[in-house]
Amino acid sequence: MPHKLNQLRPRHFLLIVLLLLVANTLAAKEQATEFGGVRQLVARRFPFMVGKVVFLPLTNAKTEAFELQTQGKRLVVKATSPSAAAVALNHYLNYYCHISISRCGNNWPSHFSLVPLERAVRCTTPFKYRYALNYCTYNYSYAFYRWPDFEWEIDWMALNGVNLMLAPLGMEAVWSETLKTLGFDQKDVQRFIPGPAYTAWWLMGNLEGWGGPMSESLISMRLQQQKQMLKRMRELGIKPVVQGFPGIVPTFFKERFPQAHIIEQGKWGSFRRPSVLLPGNDGLFERVADAYYNSVKKLLGADFEFLGGDLFHEGGVTKGVDVASVAAQVQSQMLKHFPRAKWVLQGWNKNPSPQLLSALNKQHTLLVNLSGEIATSWESSNEFGGTPWLWGSVNHFGGKTDMGGQLPIVVTEPHRALARTSNNAMQGIGILPEGIGTNPVVYHMALQTAWHTKTPDVDSMLVQYIGARYGIVQPQLLAAWRIMLKSVYGEFAIKGEGTFESVFCARPSLRVTSVSTWGPKQMQYQPADLYRALGLFLKAAPS
């Protein structure tokens, strides 16, 4: 070999060197692009880590994973994706540096020194998807968010491993353009689109126009926010779920299309529901779907893999409707415009029905089971007829000021479901709070459990959480949290009523039977337990 190398001329050596330099430059650019969003997250949220962390691709992993090690004065993060890289950073800061960020208080260092790792740390997740958000979150919590609020929220999602997130903002602009393309005018748009605090129930087909009209400037602003969100989510490895077209149209649709195959949907509580346009031989369903999806592509882009939108959510009229056929044609229109798409459906109460699911292409369907901590509907339904699905927890109803969450269920049930699934139907885990401003421990543990290959111990996770949140696992602090773990954060005897509220949040009355309409009607814990826990927190406070 050496004698052959000696025969190479200088220009050949120069060519080889140039090729190696080009290859290394391209590899560096590709790496910079892959983890560029995570590096920007570091600069935004953890400026004390700038220059102290290096992100590299992890190539020898069969599932999503990350590795951590310290080399001199740097933390080296190897990860299979930007999502895994963000989780790795958070894992190191939480459990080795005892630093955390939360919507209910940050634990920041007064000065920061890199904590050396004795050996490399490796974590993998058996859950393909880590999903976040409920339509209601966009009203109870996000209705009047500005970009800095959403920017923080997306960063928090990335740090906690979310790689699939509901993103229905800006659909007002899509519907405005769709209706105008079909010949409706601005007054019709204002009749259909609700105010910014009610868009969740509009997109779920429960009401229209309520709390409106939404001004054109607000519609424009929300579209711009959505564009900013989509860009940032993609930088951080989070795939968006935007709203598809499930056949929902305004109640006044027949005013312009009198021959349309419409089925009125009646009332949702006291609200009149939008109508459902049924596919027929006249091509109108396809025409409306085309107008809608062309608006999506024009305003938001054509690279979407997940499309939401439910039919007959929380009721609706299906008498005389071939539900299976309608659902199949809804999915067909989605795939016509977005061939890789998965129709993301909400599993809630009795929806979607077995009939609706029966006709769907399962490879292009993903069901989010909202009621994981309430009932094991995935077992009683044979995993929703073999439909790919995610284990989710609503936990929080109605944007309440509350305390609680079934931590033992949230931590262990996804692993039990994963162990019992058939044909890999169970594909992930999710947090689906109606309001997300309280109970940070629930969302932390619900997403952290995804990075355990086996069912983790709840108490051990609680100890880790305390260290990250307070910077110290102080004895009184741990004792207080263990009391709460067996009371308001334990498993509830009565399911489906949500978390516990303070009597001071009730409307004034001499007979308060519940704080909110859907709140618990009776206590499922001993009030004295929380009094004891409060005393321990006060003792721990000075340290």
Q: How far is CA 145 from CA 153, 298, 300, in A?
A: 10, 24, 20
Q: Classify residue 47 by its DSSP letter.
A: G
Q: Is the dihedral of CA 451, 454, 459, 463 positive or negative?
A: negative
- What is the average per-residue pLDDT within 163-171? 98
In this predicted model, what pLDDT tens digit does every residue of 202-250 receive, in sequence order? Answer: 999 999 999 999 999 999 999 999 999 999 999 999 999 999 999 999 9
In this predicted model, what pLDDT tens digit does every residue of 249-280 receive, in sequence order? Answer: 999 999 999 999 999 999 999 999 999 999 99
What is the distance between the alpha carbons of residues 520 and 524, in angstroms, rounded to a whole number?
9
What is the distance between the alpha carbons of residues 266 and 318, in angstroms, rounded to a whole number?
11
* pLDDT-based confidence at residue 2 (cuts at 50, 70, 90): very low
Q: Which residues contact 360 (CB under 8 A, 6 or more apart)?
A: 327, 328, 331, 343, 387
Supply the mean pLDDT for the chain. Answer: 93
- What is the average per-residue pLDDT within 398-406? 91
**Of 98-112, 123-137, 356-370, minimum mean pLDDT range:** 98-112
What is the distance between the alpha carbons of residues 480 and 459, in angstroms, rounded to a whole number?
13
In this predicted model, what pLDDT tens digit does every residue of 323-362 receive, in sequence order? Answer: 999 999 999 999 999 999 999 999 998 899 999 999 999 9
| DSSP-derived pairing of the beta strands 121-124 and 129-132 | unpaired
Percent of the chain with pLDDT over 70: 94
Asked whether the predicted pLDDT for residue 92 surpasses 70, the reply is: yes
- What is the average per-residue pLDDT within 407-421? 97
Asked whether the predicted pLDDT for residue 26 surpasses 70, the reply is: no
Residues of the chain with CATH 3.20.20.80: 167-230+246-345
* pLDDT at residue 10 in the model: 57
Percent of the chain with pLDDT over 90: 84
- What is the average per-residue pLDDT within 468-480? 96
- What is the average per-residue pLDDT within 433-453? 96
* pLDDT-based confidence at residue 198 (cuts at 50, 70, 90): very high
Q: What is the DSSP string of 148-175?
A: HHHHHHHHHHHHTT--EEE--TTHHHHH
- What is the average per-residue pLDDT within 381-397? 94
Asked whether the predicted pLDDT for residue 23 surpasses 50, the reply is: no
* pLDDT at residue 153 in the model: 98
- What is the average per-residue pLDDT within 154-165? 98
* pLDDT at residue 514 in the model: 85
* pLDDT-based confidence at residue 416 (cuts at 50, 70, 90): very high
Asked whether the predicted pLDDT for residue 173 surpasses 50, the reply is: yes
Q: Classify residue 194 by its DSSP letter.
A: -
- What is the average per-residue pLDDT within 382-400? 93
In this predicted model, what pLDDT tens digit does every residue of 489-506 receive, in sequence order? Answer: 999 999 888 899 988 899
* pLDDT at residue 370 in the model: 93
- What is the average per-residue pLDDT within 411-439? 96
- What is the average per-residue pLDDT within 396-405? 90
Can you give the three-state secondary structure of 72-128, one letter per residue? CCEEEEEECCHHHHHHHHHHHHHHCCCCECCCCCCECCCCCCCCCCCCCEEEECCCC
* pLDDT at residue 512 in the model: 87
Q: Which CATH fold would you assign to the domain 15-124?
A: Chitobiase; domain 2 (3.30.379)
Contact in structure between 376 and 409 (CB atoms under 8 Å): no
Angle at 160 between CA 483 and CA 37, to 5 degrees: 160
Contact in structure between 228 and 150 (CB atoms under 8 Å): yes
The residue type found at 310 is D
Cα end-to-end distance, the chain, whole Å? 68
Residues of the chain with CATH 3.30.379.10: 15-124
Q: Which CATH fold would you assign to the domain 167-230+246-345?
A: TIM Barrel (3.20.20)
Asked whether the predicted pLDDT for residue 30 surpasses 70, the reply is: no
